Chains A and B, each alone.
Chain A
Amino acid sequence: MRRVLLADRLATATLWALALFVVAILVSIIAYFVVSSIPTFSLAFLFSDPVDSGIGGILPLLWNSAYMLVLTMLLTIPIAVLGGIYMAEYAGENRFTNAIRFSQELISSVPSIVVGLFGMTLFVAGLGWGFTALGGALTLLVFNLPLLLRLSEQAIRAVPADERAASLALGSTQWQTIRHAVLPIAIPGIVTGIVLTAGRVFGEAAALLFTAGVATPAHYDFTFVSLDPRSPWSPFHQATTLSVFIWNTNSEANNPQHTEVAAMSSMVLLFLVLAFNLSSRWLGGALQRRVSGL
């Protein structure tokens, strides 16, 4: 009896200690970035160009991260939501849907560096684009599409069957039902999925090394709006993102202050990703309230 009770106490204490330990790791990581950035960080870091020696800034890299994000999501969202609708509303249990599920599982397990190789062969070399934002975005599409497709499917499936039955009973066609009865209710879930997927675009680096490029841009002229690869607005410009920059800064180490630059960039990246995760919760909840309030 006593031994059993002791084991219970011991196990409980161990589990508490574990939880405390893991949370402590997380807190100390964030604290490390904040504390180590205090001496060198200023808002100017976000709004100036990178330099070869010294602190400089990360404006072009932030721009590229945002650009890649928008471009990737523009390509991903329509296809993923349409595919999600098919999987949730039309698809039966057959070889076709099985193949889709297997593809989803496989793609989520393929290393992103391997997907990067694929993008390199197809877009950089095959189509002769060189390192471009579009090539990078299409590569990111490869793993974002199956993910968002699954999340949209789940969001659509979560819509109660009653909603469909009610609409169909009124004589609507299946598409009308989906469009006007199912989708509006599924939107909060889909949006949460979109924001979560988007957060991954910011963090991804391995797949972009060989597709969007690693060269650190010196300066962007944002008044130069053109399809010309030299324009930061062009989908064919070489688009080194913040994550790739962190990797590059740390591995090349030409800059005597590379540690400070990488640390501050990491902090910015970390906070961006956190903002995405938190806003996905908040946005999903807010939309949910609006939909149900209507």
Chain B
Amino acid sequence: MDTQQGDVPVTSATAPAPRAVPSSIPLPALQPMLAGMDPDASVKLRAKDLSIRYGTRVAVRDVTLDVSEHSVMAFIGPSGCGKSTVLRCFDRMNDLIPGAVVQGTVELDGESMYGPGVLPVEVRRKVGLVFQRPNPFPMSIYENVAYGPRRFGQKDRGKLDETVERSLRHAALWDEVKDELRKKSGLALSGGQQQRLCIARALATDPEVILMDEPCSALDPIATLKIEELIAQLKADYTIVIVTHNMQQAARVSDRTAFFTLGEDRAGYLVELDDTLKIFTNPTNQLTEDYVSGRFG
């Protein structure tokens, strides 16, 4: 792979929205320039030969992938291909499903997440997860954000206030809710605000990685746009993996894209992983080509 710097500004006539990430698929001619992320950028998350079974049914098999620090990776693919299942492995959330078995290795900063003596609770503190449907707790906005820190033993009012404000600002929600932090229930917010509250709640626990499982599927286009802008900002401080069924979204927000599909054996597998641009313009695999061009799935 090419060792060029990845962050090339896209200012072509065919790419009208010059944002941090390309908002539409640029000309193939630009593609080699944008192709490679720096391979020396440190690997934050790594899965090797990862397979997940539910009882005897294999849900996902043999996934190997790396996620670089401070990057956004998108998982795309038809429904049932196991992209959410893989995502949840990075947070050890599959442990909560009875009968789920995880094989292979998953590493965070080079250390195994599933090794002996590793506590799921500690893994989850370093990795935040945003769910498909916004799921704030039935408590005030303040308490929602303060929930994590409180559980980890933070009792100092001043520090809690500070964390709440910082997290809400970071999630671009502060200005909208700062006047009724303690009065308004998290459930009383609009769908998009709820989802940003959930992101703030995750940020408050100071994670290094944020996983998002189709975070916009229950939101309207404007709320979706806000979340996408947020993702672009969060990239500076966090490593992000996002599952999406919306290919435009994957193209807009991610640096690299992983395409999963369902094999003949009804188990999901990773077909192709490459720079987002390449996946959407010049994929190697015919299946990927068919999927991104809308011929299948």
A170 an interface residue at 8 Å Cβ cutoff?
no
How far apart are the CA atoms of A4 and B125 in the complex, in Å?
14
How far apart are the CA atoms of A5 and B122 in the complex, in Å?
11
Instruction: State which residues 95-150 of B face A: CB under 8 Å.
Output: 119, 121-122
Closest to B153 in A: A4
Closest to B119 in A: A5
A8 to chain B, nearest CB (A): 9
B contact residues around A1 at 8 Å (CB): 121-122
B contact residues around A5 at 8 Å (CB): 119, 121
A interface SS class = helix
Band of interface residues on A: under 10
Instruction: State which residues 62-116 of A face B: CB under 8 Å.
Output: none
| Total contacting residues, chain B, CB less than 8 A | 4
- Complex interface bits, B202-236 against A, C-beta within 8 A gives 1, otherwise 0: 00000000000000000000000000000000000
A214 to chain B, nearest CB (A): 52
- Complex interface bits, A204-216 against B, C-beta within 8 A gives 1, otherwise 0: 0000000000000
How far apart are the CA atoms of A45 and B151 in the complex, in Å?
62
How far apart are the CA atoms of A1 and B121 in the complex, in Å?
9
A contact residues around B151 at 8 Å (CB): 4
How far apart are the CA atoms of A4 and B121 in the complex, in Å?
10
How far apart are the CA atoms of A5 and B121 in the complex, in Å?
9
Closest to B121 in A: A5
B163 to chain A, nearest CB (A): 19
Closest to A3 in B: B153
Instruction: State which residues 1-19 of A face B: CB under 8 Å.
Output: 1, 4-5
A contact residues around B119 at 8 Å (CB): 5
A4 to chain B, nearest CB (A): 8
A1 to chain B, nearest CB (A): 8
How far apart are the CA atoms of A1 and B125 in the complex, in Å?
12
Instruction: State which residues 149-183 of B face A: CB under 8 Å.
Output: 151
How far apart are the CA atoms of A291 and B121 in the complex, in Å?
48
A contact residues around B122 at 8 Å (CB): 1
B contact residues around A4 at 8 Å (CB): 121, 151
A79 to chain B, nearest CB (A): 41
How far apart are the CA atoms of A5 and B152 in the complex, in Å?
11
- Complex interface bits, A1-44 against B, C-beta within 8 A gives 1, otherwise 0: 10011000000000000000000000000000000000000000
Closest to B122 in A: A1
How far apart are the CA atoms of A1 and B122 in the complex, in Å?
9
A6 to chain B, nearest CB (A): 12
B149 to chain A, nearest CB (A): 13
How far apart are the CA atoms of A27 and B114 in the complex, in Å?
41
How far apart are the CA atoms of A1 and B153 in the complex, in Å?
9
How far apart are the CA atoms of A182 and B245 in the complex, in Å?
39
6 contacts between A and B (CB under 8 A): A1-B121, A1-B122, A4-B121, A4-B151, A5-B119, A5-B121
Using a CB–CB cutoff of 8 Å, the interface residues on chain B facing chain A are 119, 121-122, 151
Ranked nearest first, the 6 interchain pairs of A and B with the lowest CB-CB distance are A5-B121, A5-B119, A4-B151, A1-B122, A4-B121, A1-B121
